[in-house]
Amino acid sequence: MIWERTAGAFFPGLSIRALPMTRSAGSIQSWQFGPGRLWTILSPTLQVHHAPSGDDSCAASGSPVAQTFSVMLQIPGSTIAAQHRRSCRLQPRDICVTDGQLPFALEVDGPFSRFMFLQIPRHMVLGRHPYLAGQTAERFDGDEPGARPAFQRRQIASPFQSSGSSGRP
């Protein structure tokens, strides 16, 4: 399966098992995002397990995956995330975090799942918010206060536009 070989090249330490209804379509895209990396993934039905090792560097960034902390946003479909005896099912607009230093698993049990995740250097996240280390693979509802504005496209797309104003004080 091409998707399996490609995903393994981007994420060393990843093992992939296709489920019976797997189709071969999918995509992986990434962009440098400051000191981190932003990924968007369209996944077929499968199970993914990641077992970190000290020398597993991401092919796209060259950074060790074990030194990252990721924020995952579910778009269409659903994904089951599991890490450190916790698991959650993400539905559209849900968020969870994973720690690259610990083994984790993702499962897409429907026909497809599209999600995004931001890999951030681990020390930048846990240095400021150490409690997140104990909240991996827990669902953060996208409708909770504080998360909702991130999903409102008009606020992100045009933060400097105002209706009927010239933009001058």
- For 83, the enclosing helix (H) or strand (E) is strand 79-83
* Residue pLDDT, tens place only, 111-166: 889 999 999 999 999 999 999 999 999 998 767 765 554 444 434 333 333 334 33
* Residue 108 falls in which region: left (phi positive, over 0), alpha (psi -120 to 50) or beta: beta
The more confident residue out of 110 and 55 is 110
CATH number at residue 35: 2.60.120.10
Predicted confidence at residue 137, as pLDDT, reads 96
The more confident residue out of 106 and 4 is 106
Closest CA to 116 of 47, 60, 38: 38
Write out the residue range of the structural domain in which residue 106 sits.
2-143
What residues contact residue 62 under an 8 Å CB cut-off, 6+ apart? none
Query: In total, how many domains does the chain have?
Result: 1
Strand-pair partners of 39 = 30, 117
151 by DSSP, 3-state: which?
A: helix
Tell me whether residue 155 is in a domain.
no
* Residue pLDDT, tens place only, 43-90: 888 898 988 876 555 544 555 666 889 999 999 999 999 999 999 999
Determine contact, residues 94/11, Cβ cutoff 8 Å: no
Alpha helices in 31-141 (DSSP H): 122-126
Tell me whether residue 154 is in a domain.
no
Closest CA to 114 of 78, 71, 152: 78
Closest CA to 112 of 67, 46, 60, 68: 46
The more confident residue out of 69 and 19 is 69
Tell me whether residue 11 is in a domain.
yes
Tell me whether residue 107 is in a domain.
yes
What is the identity of the amino acid at 45?
A: T
Tell me whether residue 41 is in a domain.
yes
Closest CA to 94 of 77, 74, 116: 74
Query: Both tokens of residue 8?
Result: 């393994």
Tell me whether residue 149 is in a domain.
no
Predicted confidence at residue 64, as pLDDT, reads 60
Determine contact, residues 136/86, Cβ cutoff 8 Å: yes
Distance in angstroms between the alpha carbons of the first and the last residue of the chain = 58
Tell me whether residue 115 is in a domain.
yes
Tell me whether residue 166 is in a domain.
no
